[in-house]
Amino acid sequence: MEYETPQFFRVIQYAASADRDVVDMVSGSPDWNPPDSLREGLHEYADADPGDFQYPPSVGLRELREELATRRGVDPQQIIVTNGTGEANHLAMAGGLDAMPGEEIILTDPVYPYYAGRANHLGAETTFVPVTEDGHADPDAITEAASEDTAVIVVNSPNNPMGVTYSADTIERLVRVAENNDALLVSDEVYDHFDYAGRFESALAVDSDHRIVTNAFSKSMAITGWRVGYAVFPDPDGPNGNLLDEARTRHMLTNVTGSRPPQAAVLHALRHTDPDYYEGVRDLLRERIAAFTDALDAVDAEYTEPEGAFYVMARFPGFSGTFESVERLIDEAGVAGMPGEAFGEARADWIRFSLTTDRVETAADRLVEFFG
Amino acid sequence: MEYETPQFFRVIQYAASADRDVVDMVSGSPDWNPPDSLREGLHEYADADPGDFQYPPSVGLRELREELATRRGVDPQQIIVTNGTGEANHLAMAGGLDAMPGEEIILTDPVYPYYAGRANHLGAETTFVPVTEDGHADPDAITEAASEDTAVIVVNSPNNPMGVTYSADTIERLVRVAENNDALLVSDEVYDHFDYAGRFESALAVDSDHRIVTNAFSKSMAITGWRVGYAVFPDPDGPNGNLLDEARTRHMLTNVTGSRPPQAAVLHALRHTDPDYYEGVRDLLRERIAAFTDALDAVDAEYTEPEGAFYVMARFPGFSGTFESVERLIDEAGVAGMPGEAFGEARADWIRFSLTTDRVETAADRLVEFFG
């Protein structure tokens, strides 16, 4: 499986050059507004003194780390602020592969392609464990797959591309698999604010020296281009305390530090954003989910019940999940999704639709017309 | 030589906890204002549509790359916008070490410690070539040191820590050394706007498939914390075209993309900043250089003639360049510099002073009193 270059671009370009109007349900970039307080924070920063424009600490602005530590119930020392979840996952995966005895990275199938691309680039062996029929990570199958050769297990809940939220029991079992094999669980929780079932549980709830939690404000504040993320490392005085030291060094020698303007604005927004903002976005997405799944029901499509993130994975009767199928859907139905085969083999017949457009109803109508 | 963790912090912390007032001449963070247009650009961006807050292209905003390409006389395709010069140097050094046949990285002595730290972290063999007596890279000595085992040569002009600007002839000879050994010259030109001798020449002036030029707006726009840099790669259709492809992949899998708010603001500032801004900053620094070197002359200190960047390397009679000496200077003179030994062995007896404070005259007076 070749993941070196994510293939989103191929579909986006095809859709952009189509002869007809196309509803773009490809990318995971929110189309809604950030909190007002985020814009305020950036305006305030733009007028700051020259000293505030210079290097923040390599690990991130102190007050931001303290704010995050309080919210996550950890020590500020355990946190490195990163260039989005992308760098947080890079530090966690590269560091885990170096520090843990094994050489293998276990991923789910389907998988967010960046995890697989990064694992390949790091030279790891990769093992893909198919999700359960209802789209969740399968702790039994992962337990069976894991061995002393396993260095890292990467999971993502709420999940892209499946649109599900793993149970607390699943998360706990995954941490235990990592512990039992002297491996590291990397839990990417970037969609934590998009949990419609109320079941989300952070891996931080499971006390362990064998897990790193990664996150960012890309989705929760609708700013995928701002690149403010973070990773929470195990206790620096515990048996895997070296993971933090190694990641600090890697971060410093790769990026020196993250960008300060967005860190300052995110800090302001964390302090001044009402919970109503997040609830409002969830309500918007619940409406989109309802409109879209009504259409899927109408054409007898199979789909995974959307519980989290903002994706719907669906399979249409007699219609595959290849790039060719997706291109046909663009040309003939005017709806662009991501081919299931871009995420692995287990759901290669499926198509992922991102609910990040205000034209979900139009897309739903078009799919009903096309498949109906 | 151990460079894993830059040692600036040790001196900065010592100075901060001193019992007396200390003039901080340690860090390389400008104390002057950015161009007004940069603040304007950030304000403008803060009011943008939600779509402008999402992922820019992984290689950077198209218009920024076009603006840079026009200014540097290259194809926009050759440019990757990075998280500061830090990431640009990381991509260039890691990529060069992978792609070129050798395993060695050649650096100058004294050296900016991040280059050495990064070379160590990448597992390269390192060779340090002492600078000439007047503080310049020594093309003869580098020619002699280079061999088929050399993968990368890293230079920096205008130079940190020496405060000199290499001649066009030196730059051309360094490119040829790289060519003759199937190696890569990485030319870090982040101080290009701080050339007092009018002699600065970019390595881009030497046509070659064996050089990568790195740069950023950290110093020229006084925003070390904003992290907008770039690297210019050889012709993608030339014999070392793979360097660009590899760096795009590494950048994508490490950072996904750089932060968009500072890219947007820098683009605005590039379009709307008068050359007077840069000349004004140079005039300010010329005044500081004069005040500081007058004091050095007064106490018979040896120093390298400041031609570029914003550092002065000096040696006081009977006074070494160790951490202990620097700490004594903090306690007894109230002036903090960086110990020469932090940059290597060749100038271990020297101390580097950064002219990034409006209290250079105070520092000068104190040094005259202490050493006079």
* CA pair distance B372, B366, nearest whole angstrom: 9
> Coil, strand or helix: which one is B109?
strand
CA pair distance B295, B221, nearest whole angstrom: 29
- A321 belongs to a structural domain: yes
Best residue in A5, A13, A40, A55 to probe B by mutation, most B CBs within 10 Å? A55
**Could you give the CA distance from residue B289 to residue B276 in angstroms, rounded to a whole number?**
20
Is A46 within a domain? Answer: no
What CATH number is given to the structural domain containing A314? 3.90.1150.10
Residue numbers of A between 18 and 47 with CB closer than 8 Å to B = 27, 29-34, 39, 42-43, 45-47
Q: How many domains does chain B have?
A: 2
Kindly state whether residues A178 and A127 are assigned to the same domain. Answer: yes
Other CB atoms within 10 Å distance of the CB of residue A144? 11
Return the half-sphere exposure (C-beta side, CA atoms, 13 A cut-off) of residue B103.
Answer: 3
What are the pLDDT digits (tens) for B257-294? Answer: 999 999 999 999 999 999 999 999 999 999 999 999 99
A87, A136: one domain: yes
Q: Are residues B76 and B166 in the same domain?
A: yes
Q: Which of B272, B288, B309 is the last residue of a domain?
A: B272
Give me the domain span that covers residue B296.
8-34+275-371
Binding-face residues of A in 111-140 toward B, CB within 8 A: 114, 117-118, 121
Q: Which candidate from A5, A53, A253 shows the least CB-CB separation from B114?
A: A253
CB contact (8 A) between residue A54 and residue B121: no
* Inside any domain, residue B41: no
Contact flag A223-B54 (C-beta cutoff 8 Å): yes
Q: Any chain A CB within 8 A of the CB of B219?
A: no
| 3-state secondary structure (DSSP) of residue B119 | helix
Place of tokens 């920024």: B64
Same domain, B243 and B333: no
Under DSSP, the state recorded for A48 is S
In a domain, A49, yes or no: no
Tracing tokens 């079932």 back to the chain, one arrives at: A197
Query: Which pLDDT tens digits describe chain A residue by residue (372 residues)?
Result: 444 455 777 888 899 899 999 999 998 899 999 999 999 999 999 999 999 999 999 999 999 999 999 999 999 999 999 999 999 999 999 999 999 999 999 999 999 999 999 999 999 999 999 999 999 999 999 999 999 999 999 999 999 999 999 999 999 999 999 999 999 999 999 999 999 989 999 999 999 999 999 999 999 999 999 999 999 999 999 999 999 999 999 999 999 999 999 999 999 999 999 999 999 999 999 999 999 999 999 999 999 999 999 999 999 999 999 999 999 999 999 999 999 999 999 999 999 999 999 999 999 999 999 998
Q: Which of B32, B214, B256, B266 to mutate to test the interface with A (most CBs of A within 10 A)?
A: B256
Answer whether A5 touches B (CB < 8 Å): yes
- Contact between A261 and B226 using a beta-carbon 8 Å cutoff: yes
pLDDT in tens, B303-356: 999 999 999 999 999 999 999 999 999 999 999 999 999 999 999 999 999 999
Residues A169 and A267 grouped into a single domain: yes
In a domain, B47, yes or no: no
Which of A89, A96, A121, A62 lies closest to A257 in space, CA to CA? Answer: A62
Please list, residue by residue across B151-181, b when 16 or more beta carbons sit within 10 angstroms of its beta carbon and e when fewer do. Answer: bbbbbbbbbbbbbbbbbeebbbbbbbbbbeb
Instruction: Judge if the upstream peptide bond of residue A6 is cis by omega within 30 degrees of 0.
Output: no
pTM: 0.96
Q: Is A3 on the interface with B (CB under 8 A)?
A: no
Residues of chain A with Cβ-Cβ distance to B268 below 8 Å are: none
Q: Do B50 and A4 touch (CB under 8 A)?
A: no
Which of A239, A272, A305 is a domain's end point? Answer: A272
B225 and B318: one domain? Answer: no
Measure Cα distances from A310 to A164, A340, A353 in Å: 9, 16, 9
Are residues A166 and A261 located together in one domain of the fold?
yes
Instruction: Calculate how close chain A gets to B116, using CA atoms only, in Å.
Output: 10
Same domain, A208 and A75: yes
Task: Tell me if A31 and B53 make a contact (CB, 8 A cut-off).
Answer: no
Shared domain for B264 and B124, answered yes or no, is: yes
Smallest CA-to-CA distance from A286 within A301, A273, A305, A300 is with: A305
Q: What is the CATH number of the domain that holds A90?
A: 3.40.640.10
pLDDT for B3 equals: 45
How many of the other CB atoms lie within 10 Å of CB of B323? Answer: 16
CB atoms within 10 A of CB A331: 14
Is B43 within a domain?
A: no
- Does residue A27 sit in the same domain as residue A64? no
Round to whole Å and give the CA distance between A255 and B113: 14
Task: State whether A54 and B30 contact (CB < 8 Å).
Answer: yes
User: How high is the pLDDT of residue A12?
Assistant: 84
* Residue B257 to residue A46, Cβ atoms within 8 A: no
B252 and chain A in contact, CB less than 8 A: yes
Residue identified by tokens 């020449």 is B201
| Predicted pLDDT of residue A2 | 44
Contacts of A118 in chain B (CB under 8 A): 253
Q: Strand runs (DSSP E) across B90-235, as ranges? A: 104-109, 125-130, 150-156, 184-188, 211-216, 229-232
Q: Choose the mutation target among B7, B29, B53 for the interface with A, i.e. most A CBs under 10 Å.
A: B53
Q: Are residues A237 and A265 in the same domain?
A: yes
Query: Token match 């519980």: residue?
Result: A307
The helix or strand, by DSSP H or E, that contains position B208, with its residue range, turns out to be none
Q: Is B251 within 8 Å of chain A by CB?
A: no
Given a cut of 50, the residues of chain B with pLDDT beneath it are 1-4
Q: Mind telling me how many Å the CA of A229 is from chain B's nearest CA? A: 11
Name the residue in chain B with its Cα closest to that of A91: B254
What is the torsion angle, in degrees rounded to the nearest 10, for the CA atoms of residue A164, residue A169, residue A173 and residue A179? 110
Which of these, A83, A351, A211, A326, lies nearest to B262 by C-alpha position? A83
Does the distance separating the beta carbons of B53 and A34 come in below 8 Å? yes
From B5's Cα to the closest Cα of chain A, the distance in A is 7
Please tell me whether residues A163 and A310 are part of one structural domain.
Answer: no
Whether the CA torsion B338, B342, B343, B349 is positive or negative: it is positive
Number of Cβ pairs < 8 A linking chain A and chain B: 173
Task: Note whether residue B226 is domain-resident.
Answer: yes
Say what the pLDDT of residue A8 is: 77
CB A114 within 8 A of CB A63: no
Q: What are the backbone angles phi and psi of residue B90, rounded to the nearest 5°? A: -60, -50
Give the domain-ending residue among B226, B251, B272.
Answer: B272
**Does residue A45 belong to any structural domain of this protein?**
no
Look at B222 and A50 and tell me if their CB atoms are within 8 Å.
yes
Cβ under 8 Å to B: A residues 291-350: none
Residue B111 tokens, joined: 């050296």
Predicted local distance difference test score (pLDDT) of residue B10: 84
Scan for tokens 């170096």, then name that residue. A98
Q: In the prediction, which pLDDT does A6 show?
A: 59
Q: List CB contacts of A55: < 8 A, sequence separation 6 or more.
A: A256, A257, A260, B27, B29, B224, B225
